[in-house]
Chains A and B, each alone.
Chain A
Amino acid sequence: MNNVVGTNIIRFILLLLLQVIICNHINFFGYINPYIYIIFIFLFPIKDSRLILLLVSFLLGMLVDMFSDSGGVHAAAAVCLAYARPILLKTSFGMSYEHHSIKFSTTEIGSLLTYITFGTLVHHFILFTFEIFNISNILLILKKTLFSSIFTVILSLLIIILFSRNRK
């Protein structure tokens, strides 16, 4: 148990630093940035309480907001993603995810990809909607969501596969 808590704390800090120091400054084609800190929310232990996940996600989003002077947009998007996570798990890993307690390191790539893609799309759409905060710019929101999502999904998948132990 202690091991799991420790891993998650280290993951929290590492992803936060990686996000604010490197990923916020990539600016691919001028505006495309990956938001890889959501890997933390994806990989959070399933058995643990959803309340803790919500609180921790809020804290993570708030810290990213603080570093990037963006009000509360990352916090809002992260909390939404954390709340929607059970639905995402159900759609991508099947109804029985609760009984089997999936290990992300041993699941199929296909299910993992579905899970991350839908999660990223939800998160990014909320993020950019609040960031731009103007419904008449819906095309800009969708454009940013699409391109940033592609970038985030590829990076997240690579990071998860690279750092997961026990993969054969």
Chain B
Amino acid sequence: MQQIFNFVIKNKTFLLFLLLFSIALTLTIQSHSYHRSKFINSANGLTGGVYGTFNTVGQYFNLRDENAILVEENKHLREQLLNPISNKDSSYIGSDFSKGKYRIITAQVYKNSYSVTNNYLTLNKGKNDSIKEDFGVITSKGILGIISNTSKNYATVLSILNKKSSINAMLKSTDHIGSLKWNGDSPHYVQLDDVSKFAPVKIGDTIITGGQSTIFPKGIGVGTIDSFDTDISGDTYIIQVKLFNDMTNIGAVYIIENLDRLEIKTLENSTNE
């Protein structure tokens, strides 16, 4: 017994190091293997408050860009209003909204990141604004990500620039579907995997969300095809998609709630049983 105590006291620095290091390692592994990091995330009062305080200063520097984006969006909406038939060829939010299937909440980005391999954003809306996990997040230009954690007043978004992200998307011209992933390289490009070899893929074609999940409505713009290649087996295409969004410059966003989500989920669960 004495020897054990002596050993502990003699090596206390190393043992403490080992303990702290293994805690950090556990958290790291957990954050790499699960969809949500349970303990350490920026959707809490402390981090949200700090980001909020400094965001009120930073906002003024982006006012010019924000205005330009709003004018662009207004123009787009006005065009849709004046040409109701032609809205089929716009990559904008579909006409589904008129049926009242979706609720939209506006929010501000408090923290944006795009330089690491698993990127998250922090928004200034949370449970108090009835934001829940798995709501979709878009900007006026295209998709951004999915809500991953919420606290009272803040929420974190699993960005499409995250290795854990996988979103259903399709070619606009032919409805061939694939899953949208990111290889960690450039914040301006994502990859569309598992697209059938029989799809007529053309450079410059538009990619939109597929509407097969309950998160995003069908027809929200993602990007245009930049280049494409067959994968190792030769059966499917891997498409490089240039994003509509400039992920490095994001201010105002829209959170989408699918009001039929619960109904669809219960139906799917009862079918699976």
Q: Interface residue tally of chain A, by bracket? A: 35 or more
Closest chain B residue, CB of each to CB of A130? B28
Q: Are A31 and B32 in contact (CB under 8 A)?
A: no
Shortest distance from the beta carbon of B63 to any chain A beta carbon, whole Å: 18
Pick the residue among B13, B26, B42, B248 that contacts A27 (CB under 8 A).
Answer: B248
Pick the residue among A68, A71, A76 that contacts B21 (CB under 8 A).
Answer: A76
Q: Are B27 and A71 in contact (CB under 8 A)?
A: yes
Mark interface residues in B95-118 (1 if CB within 8 Å of A CB, else 0).
000000000000000011111111
Pick the residue among B12, B40, B47, B186 that contacts A72 (CB under 8 A).
Answer: B40
* With A50-B13, A51-B12: A68-B27 Cβ-Cβ less than 8 Å: no
User: Is B82 engaged at the interface, CB distance under 8 Å to the other chain?
Assistant: no
A137 to B20, CA, bound (A): 26
User: Is A40 engaged at the interface, CB distance under 8 Å to the other chain?
Assistant: no
A20 to B122, CA, bound (A): 13
Closest chain B residue, CB of each to CB of A22? B54
Shortest distance from the beta carbon of B264 to any chain A beta carbon, whole Å: 29
Interface residues of B in 102-157 (CB under 8 A from A): 111-118, 120, 122, 156
Which residues of chain B are within 8 angstroms of A27 by Cβ–Cβ distance? 114-115, 248
Pick the residue among B13, B16, B30, B37 that contacts A69 (CB under 8 A).
Answer: B37
Interface residues of A in 76-91 (CB under 8 A from B): 76, 79-80, 82-83
A83 to B116, CA, bound (A): 26
Mark interface residues in A18-46 (1 if CB within 8 Å of B CB, else 0).
00110011010011110000000000000
Shortest distance from the beta carbon of A30 to any chain B beta carbon, whole Å: 6
Which residues of chain B are within 8 angstroms of A80 by Cβ–Cβ distance? 21
Which residues of chain A are within 8 angstroms of B27 by Cβ–Cβ distance? 65, 71-72, 75
For the residues of A in contact with B, the DSSP-based class is helix
Shortest distance from the beta carbon of A142 to any chain B beta carbon, whole Å: 15
Pick the residue among A66, A68, A75 that contacts B113 (CB under 8 A).
Answer: A68
Which residues of chain A are within 8 angstroms of B51 by Cβ–Cβ distance? 21, 67
Q: Are A71 and B13 in contact (CB under 8 A)?
A: no
User: Is A58 engaged at the interface, CB distance under 8 Å to the other chain?
Assistant: yes
Q: Are B186 and A67 in contact (CB under 8 A)?
A: no
Which residues of chain B are within 8 angstroms of A75 by Cβ–Cβ distance? 20, 23-24, 27
A131 to B40, CA, bound (A): 15
User: Is A55 engaged at the interface, CB distance under 8 Å to the other chain?
Assistant: yes
Shortest distance from the beta carbon of B111 to any chain A beta carbon, whole Å: 8
* With A71-B30, A71-B31: A79-B115 Cβ-Cβ less than 8 Å: no
A71 to B149, CA, bound (A): 13
Interface residues of A in 93-115 (CB under 8 A from B): none
A94 to B187, CA, bound (A): 45
Which residues of chain B are within 8 angstroms of A164 by Cβ–Cβ distance? none
Which residues of chain B are within 8 angstroms of A21 by Cβ–Cβ distance? 50-51, 54
Q: Which of A62, A82, A137, A140 has the most CB of B within 10 A?
A: A62
User: Is A119 engaged at the interface, CB distance under 8 Å to the other chain?
Assistant: no
Which residues of chain A are within 8 angstroms of B114 by Cβ–Cβ distance? 27, 30
Pick the residue among B32, B44, B50 that contacts A20 (CB under 8 A).
Answer: B50
User: Is B41 engaged at the interface, CB distance under 8 Å to the other chain?
Assistant: yes
Which residues of chain B are within 8 angstroms of A116 by Cβ–Cβ distance? none
A32 to B114, CA, bound (A): 11
Which residues of chain B are within 8 angstroms of A72 by Cβ–Cβ distance? 23-28, 31, 40
Q: Considering the complex of A and B, which 7 residue pairs feature the smallest CB-CB distances, nearest first? A: A71-B31, A72-B27, A76-B24, A72-B24, A69-B120, A75-B24, A31-B115
* 10 A–B contacts, CB within 8 A, in A order: A30-B187, A58-B20, A65-B40, A66-B41, A70-B118, A72-B27, A76-B24, A76-B28, A82-B17, A140-B184
B interface residues (Cβ-Cβ under 8 A, vs A): 12-14, 16-17, 20-21, 23-32, 37, 40-42, 44, 46-47, 50-51, 54, 111-118, 120, 122, 156, 184, 186-187, 248
A interface residues (Cβ-Cβ under 8 A, vs B): 17, 20-21, 24-25, 27, 30-33, 50-51, 54-55, 58, 61-62, 65-73, 75-76, 79-80, 82-83, 130-133, 137, 140
